[in-house]
Amino acid sequence: FDWHIPAFRHELICGLIKSLPKSLRRNFVPAPNYADAVLAAIEPLQGSLIDSLSNRLLRMTGVRVDPEAWDLTALAPHLRLQFEVRDENDQLLARGLDLAKLKAQLQGKVTDTLSKVADKGIEKTDLIQWDFGELPTSYVKKQGQYEIKAYPALVDKKSTAAVELFDNEIKAQLAHQQGLRRLVLLNVPSPIKYLQQNLPNKAKLGLYFNPFGKIADLIDDCIASGVDSLLVKYGDIRTSDAFETVKEHIRGELGDTVVAIATQVEQVLSIAHALHKKMKGRVDLTMITAHGDIKSQLESLIFKGFVSQHRAEKLGDLIRYLKAIQKRLEKLPVDPNRDRLCVLELEKVAQEYKKLTNKTPKGMPLPTDVEAIFWMQQELRVSLFAQTLGTPYPISAKRVLNAIKEIE
C-alpha cells in the first residue's frame, strides 16, 4: 500500500527525500531529478517503497539511508494513505495510517468475527484424539459481498487440544505445530519414567542447575522438543490416517529421543552454571564490558522454554557456544583491549540485526532467514573468541552484514 497510486508516486518520492535530515538530504538534490531517476529504475509494487527507494539511492550515490531516517509524518496529508476498517453493516470500527497497528488493534474483533461466521463444526474444543476427519489448510466463507479467508489449526490447550481459525497463515502454522504436539502427547505414554530409568545420575543432577523454576517444567520442555524433532520428518499433518502413523512412530522413539536431549541439556546447564559462578563477585573495570556482553549472550541462549524454542538439533551448537564463552573468559584478563574491540565489531552487527527484527510485526515468529542471522552471530562469536572450536562455515562480520543486506 505504501506505493500509493501511480499519479502521486513522483510527488511522494520527492516528499520522502525532503523528509530526510539535512545531513542526508543534501546528497539527493534536486529531489525531483532523483525521483525521476528512481522511478525509471525500480519496479513498482515489488516489496516496500521505502526499501526500494533506499536501495536505489544507495546504488546511485553510495549513501545508505536507514529506515528510521524517513519521516513519514512530514508528508503532505494527501500523500499518506489512510485505512478504514468497517463491519458488515458498514459501521466504522477503526481508522488509521498504520495498517499493522490497525490489525493489532482489531485482532480480538477479527478472531470473534471468524468464529461467528464460520460454519458450525469447523472449530472444535476438548479434543483428546483425532476424531474429526481432515483439517483443511484454509477455509473461505462468503459474508455479504466479501469473502473471508481463515486458516484452521490445532491449538494446544494444555490438557486438551482444539481447532481454531486464524486470520494469518504463519500464526496458524505455528499454532498447528504446538497443537499437534499436544495431541500426540495425549495419545502416547509419558516418557518420564523411561527418562528416570535411563538418564545417567550425573545428568539427573545437572538438570537441577535449571535457573528457571521447577525441574518438571524443564523436563516438559525436553519432551516437547523431542516430539517436535520427530514430527518434523512428516511435514504438515492434516488427516487422521497421517496422525495415526506419526503417533505410532513417536510412541516407539520418544523415550530414547528425550534421553538424548536431556543429556545435552544437562551439559548446557552445567556449563552455564559454571560461567555464572565464574562471573560472580567484583569485576575489574577493564572487563566490565565483556561481562555485560556475555550476560546478554547467555540470556539470549538460555531462558525458560529454550530447549523447544531452539530445537533439539541446535543443542550441540549451543554447547559449543558456551565452551567458546569459557575460552573467552580465560583469555580476557590477558588482553581485555582485544576483547573490547571484538565487542565493538559485534555491536555493529547487532544494530543491523535489530533493525531487521523490528520489521517483523509484534506477536509474529521471526522468518527463517532472519532467525538464521541470530545463529550466524553466535558463530561469529566463536570465530572471534575461540577459533580452535571451529565453525561449520566461514564467518566474519562482513559476511553477516551482507546476509542482512540480502534480506533487506
pLDDT digit string, tens, across residues 255-275: 999 999 999 999 999 999 999
* pLDDT recorded at residue 82: 73
Q: Which of 79, 99, 133 is the last residue of a domain?
A: 79
Residues 131 and 67 in one domain: no
Is residue 35 assigned to a domain? Answer: yes
Q: Which of 151, 185, 219 is the last residue of a domain?
A: 185
Question: How many domains are there within the chain?
Answer: 2
* pLDDT recorded at residue 36: 92
pLDDT at 403 over 70: yes
What average pLDDT does this structure show over 74-91?
Answer: 75
Residues 125 and 67 in one domain: no
Q: In terms of residue numbers, what domain contains 115?
A: 107-185
pLDDT at 90 over 90: no
Q: How confident is the model at residue 110 (pLDDT cuts 50, 70, 90)?
A: low
Is residue 347 assigned to a domain? Answer: no
Is residue 39 assigned to a domain? Answer: yes
Is 303:269 a contact under the CB 8 Å cutoff? no
Is residue 349 assigned to a domain? Answer: no
Is residue 405 assigned to a domain? Answer: no
pLDDT at 204 over 60: yes
- DSSP letter string over 135-148? --S-EEEEETTEEE
Distances (CA, A) of 386 to 271, 289, 382: 16, 18, 5
Is 32:11 a contact under the CB 8 Å cutoff? no
* pLDDT recorded at residue 120: 76
pLDDT at 46 over 60: yes
* pLDDT recorded at residue 144: 67
CA torsion angle for 328, 332, 337, 343 (degrees, to 10)?
A: 30
pTM: 0.76
Q: Which of 185, 218, 246 is the last residue of a domain?
A: 185
pLDDT at 174 over 90: yes
Grid cell listed for 200: 545417567
Is residue 44 assigned to a domain? Answer: yes
Is residue 372 assigned to a domain? Answer: no
What's the whole-number average pLDDT of the chain? 90
pLDDT at 108 over 60: no
N-to-C CA span, the chain: 18
What average pLDDT does this structure show over 127-143?
Answer: 91
Residues 17 and 65 in one domain: yes
Is residue 12 assigned to a domain? Answer: yes
Give the separation between CA 44 and CA 37, rounded to whole angstroms.
13
Which range has the worst mean pLDDT, 87-96, 97-106, 209-218, 258-267? 97-106
Helix (H, G, I), strand (E, B) or coil at 15: helix
Q: How confident is the model at residue 125 (pLDDT cuts 50, 70, 90)?
A: very high
Residues 14 and 64 in one domain: yes
SS3 of 44-94: the string is: CCCCCHHHHHHHHHHHHHCCCCCHHHCCHHHCCHHHCCCEEEECCCCCEEE
